[in-house]
Structure formats: structure tokens, C-alpha cells
Amino acid sequence: MTTTPTAGTATTVAARATELSKIYGQGETRVVALDRVSVDFHQAEFTAIMGPSGSGKSTLMHCVAGLDTFSTGSVRIGDTELGSLKDKQLTKLRRDKIGFIFQAFNLLPTLTALENITLPMDIAGRKPDKEWLDRVIQMVGLSGRLSHRPSQLSGGQQQRVAVARALASKPEIIFGDEPTGNLDSRSGAEVLGFLRNSVRELGQTVVMVTHDPVAAAYADRVVFLADGRIVDEVYGPTADSVLDLMRNLPGSTRQTPELDAKGRTS
Ligand SMILES: Nc1ncnc2c1ncn2[C@@H]1O[C@H](COP(=O)(O)OP(=O)(O)O)[C@@H](O)[C@H]1O
Ligand SMILES: [Mg+2]
């Protein structure tokens, strides 16, 4: 095993990908989804991953979160190298150290909101820290709805349950893949506000894939992918600065057409 690069920074890195590559298929169907990506996600920081469709955002998130295997390179969560783990150990690490929020809320319809929130911990046989759980539930504004089932909740409320579920075990890092993709803008803003607060007030670490510049503006930092590579990065993003950067990404299919002298598009 190699040692961690710099002892001084080791404690602040919640997750790190080093020269991470992921190749799907072979021959004619070979796709390089990730091409030697190196990136750190720092503790108590909210990072958004952006880029055009097909640029490798989901693949990066899934590989770093231990949901998918990678071709070459390495990934670590905290001080644990994922490549060194057997399947069972990886499952345990995901369960104990990582929180997930997906576009589909993925709640169990037969369980109440509270039961859904504590389900991962129940499966792991861990007792929730009551004080922490109360704080999380209060933060996402679900105190009055804990005995409701998902069908009795709006989409925004269901995703709040999913946020609380991700936070409940005080994970080392939370990953979200388009967590507001299925929500109207108001509910989306609420969920993003909770993620923001979980970082600011609770010291959580959040990594979120999004294609929405407004969502990315809630983050501390935005990392831009294009064609499986990190091509840019910005701290303190605004929706406008993100939009500008996205327009200029190599390989972007969303480039704004250039205007000629007469204001016509080329
Ligand atoms: N299971 C898969 N098999 C083959 N190719 C895949 C698979 N998943 C993703 N890809 C390809 O990898 C690239 C990156 O995909 P993805 O990470 O889903 O991009 P994004 O999330 O940015 O839209 C794309 O070219 C996509 O078609
Ligand atoms: Mg995706």
C-alpha cells in the first residue's frame, strides 16, 4: 500500500480520485467515459460536478462512491482505498460512510417517512444518534410528517426524506446524482438549501452532479467535465459564471452560437 501523499492535508480530503479512468466496451463500442481524472473532495465542502450530457459526470460519481468499478487509477474515501476492498467490505463502507441521494427518491412505499430515514441504519444494525437525527429532521422540516407514507407526501417532501436518510448516519460524504432533477424549481431550491445547510451548519461533505447552473450556484465549488476529463473548476460560483463557463467547455453541445457584426448567428 502506498502512503497518503501529504500528511497535512490527509485529514481534510473526504474523497480523492487519482488518475481515474473508466472504459466501457471494446473495439467498435469502446467508450472512454473517464480519462485519467484526478480530483479531491474536501471535508465540509459542497462540490457540484457539471458538464455536457455524456461527459462522464454520473460515471465519476458512481466510481468515487463505490457504486461502480473503474478501469485504472485509484479512489479513496477518507483513508480507505476502494481498490483494496473486497465486495463485502465495499458494501459495508458504502453503508457506513456514504450517503446517497438520487433523482428518483427511492423511498420504500410501505414505510413511513421516519422508517425510510432510519432504514439504512436499521439494516446496518446501528442505532441512530437521536440528537443528530432530530436536528436533521428539523432542518429538512419533516417533524410533522414523520408518520406519513411516501404516497402521502409531495415530490419535494419525498426528496427531503431522501436527504434526511442520506444525512441520518452522519456519513463521511454524501453523493447526489441530479437530486433536484425531478423537482419543480421551488422544491428543488428547498432541497438545495438543505444540502447547503448540511455543509454549513452540520459540517457535512456533499458532492452533487447537476446540469443546472442555478443548482450548481449553491455549491462552494464547481468542477467541470468534458469528454471524461476535468477541464475547469471555479470557487464561489454564481449561476451566471457557471453558465458562461459551460458555454465555453470543449466538446460542449450547448455552445452559444457566435454573433457576427450584424447580430446574426453563424
Ligand atoms: N453502462 C454503460 N455502457 C456503455 N457506455 C456507457 C455506460 N454508461 C455510460 N456510458 C457512456 O459513458 C459516457 C459517460 O456517461 P455518463 O457518466 O452517464 O455521462 P453524464 O452523466 O455526464 O451524462 C457516455 O458516452 C455514455 O454513453
Ligand atoms: Mg448522468
Number of domains in the chain: 1
User: Is there a domain that residue 171 lies in?
Assistant: yes
Residue 128 phi, psi dihedral angles, 5° rounding: -65, 145
Domain membership of residue 193 (yes or no) is yes
Residue 6 in domain: no
Is any ligand 1 atom within 6 A of the Cβ of residue 211?
no
Pairing of strands 173-177, 206-209: parallel
Which ligand places an atom closest to the C-alpha of 24? 1
Does ligand 1 have an atom closer than 6 angstroms to the CB of 54?
yes
Q: How far apart are CA 208 and CA 42, in angstroms?
A: 13
Residue 235: which domain range?
Answer: 13-247
33 CB less than 6 Å from ligand 1? yes
Mean pLDDT within 148-175: 95
Q: Mind listing the pLDDT tens digit for each residue in 133-147?
A: 999 999 899 999 999
In a 13 Å sphere around the CA of 194, the CA atoms on its Cβ side amount to 29
> Residue 252's pLDDT band (boundaries 50, 70, 90)?
low
The verdict on the CB of residue 62 being under 6 Å from ligand 1 is: no
29-74 pLDDT per residue, tens? 999 999 999 999 999 999 999 999 999 999 999 999 999 999 999 9
| Residue 246: Cβ-neighbour burial (10 angstroms; 0-12, 13-18, 19+) | buried
Residue 264 lies in a domain: no
Stretch 90-113: mean pLDDT = 94
Number of Cβ atoms within 10 Å of the Cβ of 219: 27
CA-nearest residue for atom 4, ligand 1, is 24
Instruction: Give the residue, by CA position, lying nearest to ligand 1 atom 26.
Output: 54
What spacing in Å lies between the alpha carbon of 241 and ligand 1's midpoint? 26
CATH number at residue 199: 3.40.50.300
* 124 band by pLDDT with thresholds 50, 70 and 90: confident
How many alpha carbons lie under 13 Å from residue 107 in its C-beta half-sphere? 29
